[in-house]
Structure 1
Amino acid sequence: MCTDGCKERRTGDFCNYYNLAYDSSVLINPNSSYPGSLANDGSKTSCSKTNGPTVTFQVDLKEESIVTGLHILFGELTTKVGSHTLYASNTSNNFKTGTMVYEGQFLPTRINVRAVFRYLTYVPPVHGKSSVLEVCEIGIIGCPPSRYGPVCNKLCPGNCNGPCDLATGSCAFGCLNRWTGDKCEQECSFGQFGKNCSEFCHGCISQMCDHVNGICDNSTACKPGYVYDKYCNTSCSDGLYGSNCLHTCSPFCLHVPCDRRTGECIGGCIRGLHGFNCMQVSINTKKSDDDEVTTWIGIFIGGVLLGILITVVVCFVIRKKLPKKQSKDNVPKKTQSHDQQHYDDVGIENVTSYQDLRKDNLRKDTGANEYDQINATYVNQ
């Protein structure tokens, strides 16, 4: 066991691990005459010290890295009773927004973790109104993003999208655009592009596009079923099909949308029609429909005849039950005389009114002319 510490970029009891913390920035809060840099110099005899009501110790790796373990050596003055917490983050040095990777009533010398982070923050327990922190050495086991192997002496493949696996060197977070494979050593297959070659040039003519950005080699046209643009990756809206989506699906498709490329009614046609776009009349269905119409016509005519028969019977029965009318000779003469007198009175009154109106019209030259014109028109007609 290495009693005094390790050489550059090594950590662990036997100094057999690569130490990411060696080239990192180490801060202790609140600041003191024993700065954080004393905790990552490789020596176990020089320690970083501070105390206060809120104490933190933070390591900035300067870039995201794969970490497999921590090795921390505390001094005798460190507050040990209470909750010890470790936070990791990729985006902020504020530990409150990070992810907790450890919490316990004591902090062991070696902690196994498997995470990718840039910032590591240790928050010690508070005893009474303050906490005392003394860190003599911090080791973060892992490799820089571009290296792998037991002592990080091998280079990761150049097309990895981030750090590679520390043991095998495979690209743990996929490949850069255009590349694929475990170590991102292959070209994308024909018709594919993007990260891990996960995108497809479906709309490009002959599926020819740039392996990196996906722009079609022929950006002036796209396959039927796609809107014309440089990527040809926007499908026709429902109800449209063909080149640049300029055609409308048949209104007789049973289920919409039709095939965006050809316009075929892939879900079938409404009753009575068939064909590629449901524009042909089905003969069998037409005969069936004619038979159905004939049946309904027969039912209608039968209903009308039955209604007429019922009406005749009802009228006959009612006529039989009505009393006979009195003959004209049986009407009292007094009544006849009274009716005749009433008619005469009405006739006289009407004649008088008509004559008065005629006289009034004749008094006016204009009125008389209008009357004559109206009368002449009537005669001509």
Structure 2
Amino acid sequence: MLCIKNAKINTVTNGIIQGDILIENGKIKEIGKDIVVPLDVKVVDAKENYVFPGFIDPHTHVGMWEDGMGHEGADGNEETDPITPHLSAVDGINAMDRNFKEAYEGGITTVASGPGSANVIGGQFIALKTYGDRIDDMVLKTIGMKIAFGENPKSAYGKEDKTPQTRMATAALLRETLKRAQFYLEDMIDYEEDEDCDRPEYDNKLEALIPVLKKEIPLKAHAHRADDIFTAIRIAKEFDLDLTIDHCTEGHLITKHLSKENYPVLVGPSLSERCKIELRNLTFETPGILSNEGLNVSLMTDHPVVPIQYLPLCASLAVKAGMDKNKAIEAITINPAKVLGLDDRIGSIEVGKDADIVIWNGHPLDIQSNVACTIINGEVVYSA
């Protein structure tokens, strides 16, 4: 057992509580004032400092592009085939990438990491805790199927005189693959329900798309420009699929449309240069504008584009540009937890949830604040 005493607890979902947190078997057991604990329980004195749930980054490539490694550590894009749904981040992440340590030292306890955006369908994103030395022990679940629109697939394959060279071809390839997956699933259902039907020939690409068709995971769409966002929405609606809009750089230009469609939006990386045409409208005002419209907004670093430990700084800059302070905290806690389908475990300080808790020596959106202690699954993994 572990007990955090004398804390200013920002629960995120139930306001601020001055008191203690009791942790048992990696879970939050009790929250309240002057909790009485046995003498053998380890006590962490928060010294009246801020206590927040561990922050969550819902779109990174941590461990896929390892820090300081160059080509040898680059395992995020399989640029030999624009359609690779059968690839899983769990087989490409190096848990010993030092950026995981920098993440939890910066208060980030859960990330989603996965393939890059060179391919029309890049593969499977996973959610994982940031502490550990073996990916099998860190992974929580597969949370989405990465797809990409816009400049990246065009530039990756167009230069090789391969498809896709246009946005039309990107959409066509995605539609063709989803339709083939639908037929494959229908044949599998017929085989399982009718003993006279032959089993369809195994196809690992189409097999990987079955959870998408069953709405067990969403399409995780890389889309910066407004027209690419609309294409992602159009295809998701055509095939009746769940969708998250990742980057959403021009979301502030189409706010009313996004509000009507009401898909989750993951905004970022905003702390970066406008290095290509589709980023020309990049601004930190986007998350605040979308949040004020009632959308479920999460913030993302797209690590290594923005180093993972600067997720709280991105939230702070969003507040500076007009986002409500509480909404900015939600955008790095409970909102991404909902996007990842893990809000029953993480994203807020509530009884029964994972004990992923961070003690700060000041408010985390104050650039001068530092992490004093990080707890993941009830274990103190970092102490300043």
Q: Aligning the two structures, in what range does the TM-score lie when normalised by the shorter sequence?
A: under 0.3
TM-score of the superposed pair, with normalisation by structure 2:
0.20
TM-score of the superposed pair, with normalisation by structure 1:
0.20
Higher RCO structure (Cα 8 Å, ≥6 apart): 2
